Structure 1
Amino acid sequence: MDEVSLSALFIALIVLIIFSAFFSAAEIALMTVDRYRLRHLTKVGHRGAKRAQSLLKRPDRLIGVILLGSNFTNALLSTLTTVTAIRILGEQESTIVVATIVIALVILIFTDLAPKTLAALHPERIAFPSAYVLEPLLKLIYPVVWIVNGMANGVLRTFGVSPQESATRTLSSEEIRMVINEAGAMIPRSHQQMLLNIMDLEKGEDIMTPRNEIIGIDLEDDWNNILDLLTTSQHTRLPLYRGDINNVMGILHVRNILHKLTDAAFNHEDLIALAHEPYYIPEGTSLNGQLLNFQRQKRRIGLVVDEYGDINGLVTLEDILEEIVGEFTTDISAASPDVYAQKDNSFLVSGSANIRDLNRAMHWHLPVDGPRTINGLVLEYLESIPSPGTSLLIANYPIEIVQTAENSVKMVRILPRL
């Protein structure tokens, strides 16, 4: 090495430092690049993304070629640094110490810390250009990589790890929520809330109108009462039944009979003739599944039935859409909530109030994985009909029973959460 000039040695050292920094940066960039964005860029035809995706299909080979290049470069760098130190300082005992310190500092700062930090902060800027170099390099030294990886993979297999396992995985629902919440300005806040609401869609009975609250037309009722209901109802679709809600004859669209109301001959048979066949929803059907069923069947209203065929409630397309986009109805009843604020910061709440609606409107956190109403929640907790004045604590909310009936809780007082 005596015939090699110092300037040539310094140039060689700089080149080796650049190579070593490249391998360090490429390793971090390719391992930390967002896999889902990488797939997207691959689909739209980004060449660098395609090459990076190809390399990441076998991470063992990718790491193998990077480490072979990095270790070879660092070994050569150490040798040339030692030779350069000897040429400058002479063959002294301190020369090896100086060379060791210089090598350690150079590798730490210039070939590890700085390039790896840069790659972690901007993985795409490093990963895609690196793929253009690493892909042909892997083909060039593939026999060496294959031998080294074969030995390393043999060690992994003893621990039950397969190198062929995909490096990608599906996101859990909680991780998707985190992605949506952290999207920031990329997704408007209202859109984020819609996406989260879609993920929260549960079963139809969670949002259905209970059986005892269904407004319909009893064909056995007095004709004048039926006409009065048709002209004053706030609903555009009403179930027709005979005697009992379980005996549904059809679903009547009020718009279809408006022109008949002035006809003196208009009667019960005309109502049945104008009604559509009822659409039934099995209990337990998920809301997202039901939304698709409404779309396929061209329906806007369905009756929820249990395993015995008895009607439990009614679900409309509007109910499901409101779960996603929020309240948009002009329903008059929406202007009369079941919550009454008190001067002591407590709230009087009707026993029939829907828990999900309360949580959404009042920003409460009452449990929703059981009963759907306050009455059901209290009865499930106490397992008996309580007396007025009874107090209980549910989800850290102090609740006082204000009014009861023979078989239900009519009114409760809910205090601020402890």
Structure 2
Amino acid sequence: MEHISTTTLIITLIVMVIISAYFSGSETGMMTLNRYRLRHMAKQGNRPAKRVEKLLRKPDRLISLVLIGNNLVNILASALGTIVGMRLYGDAGVAIATGVLTFVVLVFAEVLPKTIAALYPEKVAYPSSFLLAPLQVLMMPLVWLLNTITRMLMRMMGIRTDTVISSALSKDELRTIVNESRSQISRRNQDMLLSVLDLEKVSVNDIMV
């Protein structure tokens, strides 16, 4: 890489960090989506919702895809960071690059994108699906190999790999159903249903008052 300028390497390194942030945010966004709302939007014909729903049918494949992509990008970023560090600071550049890159990846490629995705899962997951869907097809051999090894290790540890994921709605999903049914349920009945969902928050002292 001696013929490649330091500026080009730094720009490439920044791109790698952005891609790493994309994978990190995509995973969190996909996994924190309201599944009822996702199914509802998919049935309404929303294409991004359909694409995300298809990806989430095989969560193990999705997680493997994200991990493979993220690790490949981070390894490349680490190599580029080391080269840039040595060019700028000599032998001491290795330690400097390691420290700086660790901080940058931790903040800008992990904590920040995951936090944003957790707060706005739909805004992150739906656009992310445009790239994740074709990537899953392209990287299927690696994804399949990783999943196969994982399942073998799980069987060796006595962990069942055929467990069916429950389709039961969570409390938050039920709350979403009630809130989105305003045109079909009277305000009084809606408030009553929401009160039932909030019963677990009520203490004995609240009832006695």
Q: How does 1:267-278 map to 2 (within 5 A)?
A: none
Identify the match of residue 146 of structure 1 among 138, 144, 165.
Answer: 144
Q: How does 1:155-304 map to 2 (within 5 A)?
A: 155-157=153-155, 158-162=157-161, 164-171=162-169, 175=171, 179=175, 183=179, 189-195=187-193
Task: Give the percent of matched residue pairs that are identical in Structure 1 and Structure 2.
Answer: 40
Does the Cα contact within 8 Å between 1:57 and 1:166 map onto a contact in 2? no
Identify the match of residue 110 of structure 2 among 100, 109, 112.
Answer: 112
Distance 1:17 1:96, change over 3 A: same
Shift of the alpha carbon at 1:159?
3.3
Is 1:135 equivalent to 2:170 in the alignment?
no
Q: Match of 2:93? A: 95
Q: Distance in 2 between matches of 1:176 and 1:112?
A: 26
C-alpha offsets along residues 121-155 of structure 1, whole Å, 9 cap, x if unaligned? Answer: 11001111111111111111111110111001222
Q: SS at 2:45's partner residue?
A: coil
C-alpha offsets along residues 9-39 of structure 1, whole Å, 9 cap, x if unaligned? Answer: 0111111011100000001000101100000
Q: Distance in 1 between matches of 2:132 and 2:176?
A: 34
Q: Which amino acid aligns with 1:35?
A: R
Structure number with higher strand proportion: 1
Q: Match of 1:2? A: 2
Q: Distance in 2 between matches of 1:196 and 1:114?
A: 33
Does the Cα contact within 8 Å between 2:36 and 2:173 map onto a contact in 1? no
Q: Which amino acid aligns with 2:24?
A: S
TM-score if structure 2 supplies the norm length?
0.83
Query: RMSD between aligned alpha carbons?
Result: 3.1
Distance 1:34 1:136, change over 3 A: same
Does the Cα contact within 8 Å between 1:180 and 1:192 map onto a contact in 2? no
Distance 1:197 1:83, change over 3 A: closer
TM-score if structure 1 supplies the norm length?
0.43
C-alpha offsets along residues 377-396 of structure 1, whole Å, 9 cap, x if unaligned? Answer: xxxxxxxxxxxxxxxxxx99
Structure number with higher helix proportion: 2
Q: Match of 1:77? A: 77
Q: Which amino acid aligns with 1:77?
A: A
How many matched pairs? 198
Identify the match of residue 125 of structure 1 among 111, 120, 123.
Answer: 123
Q: Distance in 2 between matches of 1:76 and 1:122?
A: 29
Shift of the alpha carbon at 1:192?
1.8
Give the unaligned 5+ runs of structure 2.
198-203
Q: Distance in 2 between matches of 1:45 and 1:114?
A: 31
Distance 1:20 1:128, change over 3 A: same
Q: Match of 2:200? A: none
Shift of the alpha carbon at 1:165?
4.0
Does the Cα contact within 8 Å between 1:181 and 1:192 map onto a contact in 2? no
Shift of the alpha carbon at 1:180?
7.0
Give the unaligned 5+ runs of structure 1.
200-394, 397-416
Shift of the alpha carbon at 1:96?
1.8
Q: Match of 1:21? A: 21
Shift of the alpha carbon at 1:97?
1.4
Q: Which has the larger radius of gyration?
A: 1
Does the Cα contact within 8 Å between 1:61 and 1:149 map onto a contact in 2? yes
Q: Which amino acid aligns with 2:175?
A: V
Shift of the alpha carbon at 1:79?
0.5
Q: Distance in 1 between matches of 2:172 and 2:100?
A: 47
Structure number with the bigger relative contact order (C-alpha 8 A, sep ≥ 6) is: 2
Q: Distance in 1 between matches of 2:173 and 2:41?
A: 23
C-alpha offsets along residues 29-73 of structure 1, whole Å, 9 cap, x if unaligned? Answer: 001011000000100011111111001011100001110000000
Q: Distance in 1 between matches of 2:54 and 2:144?
A: 17
Distance 1:188 1:108, change over 3 A: farther
Distance 1:46 1:177, change over 3 A: closer
Q: Distance in 2 between matches of 1:154 and 1:195?
A: 45
Shift of the alpha carbon at 1:182?
9.0
Does the Cα contact within 8 Å between 2:35 and 2:173 map onto a contact in 1? no
Q: Match of 2:59? A: 59
